[in-house]
Amino acid sequence: MQIAVITGGSSGIGQSAAFELAKRGTAVVVTYRGGRDRALETVERIEKDGGTAVALPLDVSRPDTFGEFRAALTGVLENWGRTSFDFLVSNAGVGQPPVMFEDTTEDLFDQMIAVHLKGPYFLTQTLLPLLADNGSIVYTTSTSALPTARPTPGYSVYASVKGAQIVLTRYLAKELSARGIRVNAVAPGVTRTRLGDDAFAQHPELIPPIAGRTALGRIGEPDDLGTVIAFLGSPDAGWITAQTVEASGGYEL
């Protein structure tokens, strides 16, 4: 049985990745921060469909707690008769309120670094001894960080830390290739999730203009990304490493 660990599996893209992986027979550990109920619902739905899942709490901005998380994960793996897992989906993230460069505070900067760079970096390092040889890692970055992106004023911190994930993907792909571990990133375009305090539910008027700038004429849904993440972790993607796969329906093409 393959095992995946998905940070931010209680909502949106991470939750969809959990469902997609479970459908393919992978046992999943979903992590949550504030959304315990949604994480438990995710587990319940997977189990109802005959899959295997567990939810664990994790704040990716708190490297001081990563040892405790690794111990909890080790316990789950033991229950499943394993000492390792196969696929790390480093997906947890938060949106940034639009703030122009001149007004960006150190607090916002530090929060973005903690959740999107320092946290994923040291969480990957902490979990690496548990990741099986020939396993894989996927980071959820953003189209805002791609060289082809048309920069939107107000998002310099978010885009910068997401860009750092793309660089990290390439460097880890090189270093971890010695163990056969593949490392990739997925870059979602605008996707209907709870990001930004559930922005699209609160402001549906934001959707049509974004859909109008998207070649395929709509915004993304979580499953548009969950399927790509599941693919990148599967043997079908066994020759793909060091790549950032844009999945945006042709945003600003």
Tell me which residues touch ligand NAP (CB under 6 A).
Answer: 7-8, 10-14, 32-35, 58-61, 91-94, 115, 140, 142, 188, 190-191, 193-195
Give DSSP secondary structure letters for 9-29: TTSHHHHHHHHHHHHTT-EEE
**Catalytic: 158?**
yes
Nearer to ligand NAP, 3 or 157 (CB): 157
C-beta of 80: minimal distance to ligand NAP in Å? 22
CA angle 60, 64, 68 (to 5 degrees): 85
Computed from CA positions of residues 40, 235, 168, 246, in that sequence, does the dihedral angle turn out positive or negative? Answer: negative
DSSP H helices, 177-248, are: 195-202, 207-212, 222-232
C-beta of 178: minimal distance to ligand NAP in Å? 27
How many angstroms separate the CA atoms of 104 and 87, rounded? Answer: 35
Nearer to ligand NAP, 45 or 82 (CB): 45
C-beta of 72: minimal distance to ligand NAP in Å? 14
Nearer to ligand NAP, 40 or 128 (CB): 40
Q: Are 125 and 137 in contact (CB under 8 A)?
A: no
Q: How far is CA 20 from CA 35, 91, 165, 231, 248, in A?
A: 20, 15, 23, 9, 18
Selected catalytic residue, list 32, 139, 155, 158: 158
Nearer to ligand NAP, 131 or 186 (CB): 186
C-beta of 143: minimal distance to ligand NAP in Å? 6
Q: Which residues are tagged catalytic?
A: 158
